[in-house]
Amino acid sequence: MPKIVLEGLVKRYGAFEVLHGIDLEMEADEFTVFVGPSGCGKSTTLRMIAGLESVTEGEIYIDGKPVSHLEPKARDLAMVFQDYALYPHMNVAKNMSFALRLQRRPKAEIDAKIADVAETLGLTQFLHRKPGELSGGQRQRVAMGRALTRDSGTFLFDEPLSNLDAKLRGQMRAELALMSQRVKKNMIYVTHDQIEAMTLADRIVVMNGGYIQQQGSPEELFKKPVNKFVAGFLGMPPMNFLDGEVAEKAGEIYVEGQDFSVKLSREKADAIRAHSGRKVTLGIRPSDLVYSPDAADEQSLLLNIVVSEYVGAQTVLLCECGGQKIDVELKSDIPIDRNRQLRFAINPEGVHLFDQDTEAAL
Partner 1 sequence: MSIANKANRLTPYVFMAPAAIILTVALLYPICYMIYASFLDWSPSQRIGEADFVGLRNYANLLQDAAFRESFWVTIKFAAVVVTLEMIIGVGLALLLDRNIKGMSTLRTIFILPMMIAPIVVGLMWRYMYHPTVGIFNRTLKSWGFEGIPWLSDSNWSFVAVVMADVWQWTPFIFILSLAAMQSLPRSALEAAEIDGATEMQKIFFIKLPLMLPVLIVTLMLRLIDAFKVLEVIMVLTNGGPGLSTEIVALRIFRTAQEFQELGEAAAMSNTLLMVLMALTIGMFMYNKMQENRAVRMKAAASKGAV
Which positions lie near ligand ATP, rule CB under 6 A?
13, 16, 18, 36, 38-44, 82
Which of 20, 130, 275, 343 binds partner 1 (CB under 8 A)? It is 130
H/E run at residue 16: strand 16-26
Phi, psi of 202 (to 5 degrees): -85, -35
Q: Which is nearer to Mg ion, 41 or 283 (CB)?
A: 41
> For partner 1, how many residues bind (rule: CB under 8 A)?
35
Q: Which is nearer to ligand ATP, 53 or 175 (CB)?
A: 53
The verdict on 173 binding partner 1 (CB under 8 A) reads: no
Report helix, strand or coil for 66.
strand
Which of 12, 69, 89, 128 binds partner 1 (CB under 8 A)? It is 89
Supply the minimum distance, in Å, between the C-beta of residue 278 and ligand ATP.
34
CA–CA distance, 104 with 100 (Å, rounded to integer): 6
Kindly tell me the burial class for residue 96, based on how many C-beta atoms sit within 10 Å of its own C-beta (0-12, 13-18, 19 or more): buried
Q: How many CB atoms lie within 10 A of CB 250?
A: 5
Supply the minimum distance, in Å, between the C-beta of residue 22 and ligand ATP.
11
Supply the minimum distance, in Å, between the C-beta of residue 285 and Mg ion.
27
Contact partner at residue 135 from partner 1, Mg ion, ligand ATP, none, CB < 5 to 8 Å by partner kind: partner 1
Q: Which is nearer to ligand ATP, 52 or 70 (CB)?
A: 52
Q: Which is nearer to partner 1, 137 or 348 (CB)?
A: 137
CA–CA distance, 268 with 217 (Å, rounded to integer): 23
CA–CA distance, 128 with 134 (Å, rounded to integer): 11
Q: Which is nearer to ligand ATP, 36 or 286 (CB)?
A: 36
CA–CA distance, 186 with 79 (Å, rounded to integer): 12
